[in-house]
């Protein structure tokens, strides 16, 4: 089922709201679209990163091997951009949701760290993090708190450092994949927010939820390959849709805490 959202005019079927209220295990799979309203560009579609930049040079191990300086220039530019960005109401709503479910996981393809900055705690970063570098010799990681200085950066062992992210053709870490697959297959409800759902294995996670009997709710500006599998596909900006959807879920216990006087009458 698909519905077009005009934020407050958003109509969510009551049985879906009921399933969300009853759920104990919930996960959210996010992609670049969730950070678009924070000013971080998406990869695909009009104005997307891959329209302007060649992914072969910037997001493959071969590209990095051929020209590490070029790849690092690009990652530094993105670090500068991401450093300026702030979490938006979609990230904040997801952080709030975590407080209301017994088991909750954010499975993100994003490397921008905005979920953590919004207050989410149980986060699986499927494609790594732009604020971490990794030694190309022994895999030692180094955290960054500001954009990288000298380019390319070197490890104290003399080897070149790379961004600790997952490029095309590289496997996702076993730890991240195991945690994400477990959360997805155990989820009674999975929200899929702002991803084109074309990059695997992340795009298969909602299918795991569906195949285990869970409900999949998609939030995206446009229909994707996942839309026909989803139980509900809401078309609209995540920063507007998620807060309204969450308000409509209206957990009675949340209402009691936020409005104790009215609730106790
Ligand atoms: C909004 C919105 C708003 C906008 N509100 N919505 C053929 C060739 C080569 C590889 C393959 C191939 N066929 C299959 C593969 C495998 C490949 C793959 O899936 N390719 C497909 C593209 C075909 N996958 C891999 O290579 C993965 N590894 C792998 O498979 O390993 C196997 C292996 C095993 C053992 C040994 C060796 C290998 C790795 C994939 C890594 C992806 N990396 C990137 C870069 C990360 C680092 C970085 O950021 O620099 O990850 S690519 C890029 O795509 C990034 C993203 O995380 C990922 C997904 O994109 P996402 O998040 O969905 O963004 P967009 O832009 O696509 O979509 C945004 C959406 O938001 C849109 O739908 C908008 O409508 C929406 N939107 N504003 C709501 N306000």
- pLDDT per residue rounded down to tens, the chain (265 residues): 655 445 557 889 999 999 999 999 999 999 999 999 999 999 998 889 999 999 999 999 999 999 999 999 999 999 999 999 999 999 999 999 999 999 999 999 999 999 999 999 999 999 999 999 999 999 999 999 999 999 999 999 999 999 999 999 999 999 999 999 999 999 999 999 999 999 999 999 999 999 999 999 999 999 999 999 999 999 999 999 999 999 999 765 554 555 555 434 3
pLDDT at 45: 81
Q: What is the pTM of this model?
A: 0.94
Distance 199 CA to ligand 1 centre (A): 4
Answer yes or no: are the C-beta atoms of 61 and 160 closer than 8 Å.
no
pLDDT at 264: 41
Distance 200 CA to ligand 1 centre (A): 7
Q: Is 102 helix (H, G, I), strand (E, B) or coil?
A: coil
Say whether 259 is catalytic.
Answer: no
pLDDT at 47: 87
The residues, any chain, with a CB within 8 Å of residue 135's CB and separated by 6 or more, are 141, 142, 155, 157, 159, 161
pLDDT at 10: 87
Measured CA to CA, the distance from residue 86 to residue 35 in angstroms comes to 9
Q: Is 205 in the pocket of ligand 1 (CB under 6 A)?
A: no
Q: Is 237 helix (H, G, I), strand (E, B) or coil?
A: coil
Cβ neighbour number for residue 200 with a 10 Å cutoff: 9
Answer yes or no: are the C-beta atoms of 109 and 126 closer than 8 Å.
yes
Measured CA to CA, the distance from residue 17 to residue 245 in angstroms comes to 9
Measured CA to CA, the distance from residue 184 to residue 25 in angstroms comes to 9
pLDDT at 263: 39
What value does the CA radius of gyration of the chain take, rounded to a whole number of Å? Answer: 19
Measured CA to CA, the distance from residue 93 to residue 167 in angstroms comes to 29
Nearest residue to 126 (alpha-carbon basis) of 137, 138, 115: 115
Distance 258 CA to ligand 1 centre (A): 39
The residues, any chain, with a CB within 8 Å of residue 36's CB and separated by 6 or more, are 42, 194, 237, 238
Ligand 1 test: best mutation among 46, 114, 194, most atoms within 8 Å of CB?
194
The catalytically annotated residue of 100, 127, 156, 259 is: 127
Measured CA to CA, the distance from residue 50 to residue 116 in angstroms comes to 26
């Amino acid at each position: 089922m698909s519905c077009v959202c005009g934020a407050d005019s958003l109509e969510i079927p009551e049985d879906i709201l009921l399933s969300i209220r009853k759920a104990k295990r919930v996960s959210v799979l996010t992609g670049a679209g969730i950070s678009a309203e924070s000013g971080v560009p998406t990869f695909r579609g009009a104005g997307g990163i891959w329209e302007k930049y060649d992914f072969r040079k910037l997001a493959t191990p071969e590209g990095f091997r051929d020209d590490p300086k070029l790849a690092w220039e690009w990652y530094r530019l993105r670090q500068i951009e991401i450093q300026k960005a702030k979490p938006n109401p979609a990230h904040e709503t997801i952080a709030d949701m975590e407080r209301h479910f017994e088991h909750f996981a954010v499975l993100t393809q994003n490397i921008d760290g905005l979920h953590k900055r919004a207050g989410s705690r149980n986060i699986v970063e499927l494609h790594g993090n732009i604020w971490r570098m990794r030694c190309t010799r022994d895999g030692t990681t180094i955290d960054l708190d500001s954009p990288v200085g000298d380019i390319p950066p070197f490890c104290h062992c003399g080897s070149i450092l790379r961004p600790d992210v997952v490029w095309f053709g590289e496997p996702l870490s076993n730890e991240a994949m195991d945690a994400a697959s477990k959360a997805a297959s155990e989820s009674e409800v999975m929200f899929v927010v702002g991803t084109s759902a074309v990059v695997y294995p992340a795009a298969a996670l909602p299918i795991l939820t569906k195949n285990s009997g869970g409900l999949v709710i998609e939030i995206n500006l446009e229909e994707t390959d996942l839309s026909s599998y989803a139980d509900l596909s809401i078309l609209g900006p995540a920063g507007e849709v998620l807060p309204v959807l969450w308000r409509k879920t209206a957990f009675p216990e949340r209402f009691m805490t936020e409005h104790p006087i009215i609730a106790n009458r």
